[in-house]
Amino acid sequence: MTALLPPDLKGWAINEALPLWASTGWDAHRGGFHERLTQEGVPDLVADRRLRVQARQIYVYAHAAHLGWYQDGLYVALRGFDYLMDKGHAPDGKPGFVHLLTADGAVANGLRDTYDHMFVLLAASWLARVSGDAQIRAVVDQTLAFIDEELTDNHGTLNEGKPTSLPRRQNPNMHAFEAMLALHETLAHPEALKRASQFLTLFHTSFLDPATHTIREFFTQNWQPLAPPLGTSSEPGHQAEWVWLLRRHEAITGKPPSRLPSQLLDRAISSADPVTGLLFDEADSNGIIRRHTSRTWLQTELAKAWLAEAEVGRDGAKLNAITALHSLKQRYLNPAPRGCWVDQLDRKGDVIDAPITASTFYHIFVAIAEAERVLGA
């Protein structure tokens, strides 16, 4: 049975990735996490910084501290949170978090992006849990209030941001659902599950195509699917991500396992690469591949989906999860500098030259944490 055990991804996270992104990945002179590293593992000193990336890195180190995986995790997360609040929160005198900072910490884009604010909630909830800091806990409620007042339409659904824009997307709502589950898990927030149910309703009424078991991505103002090609776009990575989230919601609320997550996963893998098993970046609602590239984050979501299926006893799910984890390490982590990853593979499985984006660490870390929790990896 030894051959069935997943690779030592936990050791990779503890001994390689967490130390690297807390040192090389941190800007010791100007503060904040670097947006990305070059292919050689050197910080890109001029790249603008997305607010969501700062929040994702804070989350990673707060969660790592909670797990006891990184001794300085709380310190790193608190340092990152100070930068987030100092540079990203209302620097232009208006409420909310700005979308983009320059490498020097100035405002590059003052948009209040809904997606970004969901990752602020994720980061703040985990950091409040680990630190016990009441001021960080207060940021959670302040951010929720801002979302309600400034990022929500008259019908109670999320706009893309402030100012509003089209098309509307399922993706920010998926991460809102994730953030609400995290608020319940970390802080037992009294509003979390009620808010989660609103996003779950939108999932069933608008995002899900029950005829094909695919998740729609782009919508009109009234949450109707756009005309093709955008309206028929399907991202297998998001399908897998929803599998994990739906199973988490079932576990949290005590509901019996439903068939839908398994159906979503089956549809996602039906258009995977038949040789490697890797998920492709984009298909359509009929399963026809539109982009034959395979980014790293999709494979982490595939592993998480199979882990979630393993927890409800699906036949073969554990082995499929282990296979996905092996593939993640061999194809995406091993070819990269120590503690890093490659971003994307082409149709032949060769590495596409691209920077090493910090945003991907969140996806990889959650997959490893879930593997440890479910498999005892």
Residue 201 gets the label, from left (phi > 0), alpha (psi -120 to 50) or beta, of alpha
pLDDT tens column, 45-73: 999 999 999 999 999 999 999 999 999 99
Over residues 215-220, the mean pLDDT reads 98
- Go through 35-46 and write b for each residue having 16 or more CB atoms within 10 A of its CB, e for each that does not: bbbeeeeebbee
pLDDT tens column, 292-334: 999 999 999 999 999 999 999 999 999 999 999 999 999 999 9
Would you state the pLDDT for residue 376?
Answer: 87
Would you state the pLDDT for residue 377?
Answer: 52
Residue 14 has pLDDT above 90, yes or no: yes
pLDDT tens column, 240-259: 999 999 999 999 999 999 99
Which are the contacts of 85, defined by CB distance < 8 A and separation ≥ 6? Answer: 139
Q: What is the pTM of this model?
A: 0.97
pLDDT tens column, 144-159: 999 999 999 999 999 9
Would you state the pLDDT for residue 291?
Answer: 96
Would you state the pLDDT for residue 259?
Answer: 98
Residue 2 has pLDDT above 60, yes or no: no
Residue 49 gets the label, from left (phi > 0), alpha (psi -120 to 50) or beta, of beta
Residue 218 has pLDDT above 50, yes or no: yes
**pLDDT band of 216, cuts 50, 70, 90:** very high
Would you state the pLDDT for residue 1?
Answer: 37
- Least confident interval from 3-7, 101-105, 167-171: 3-7
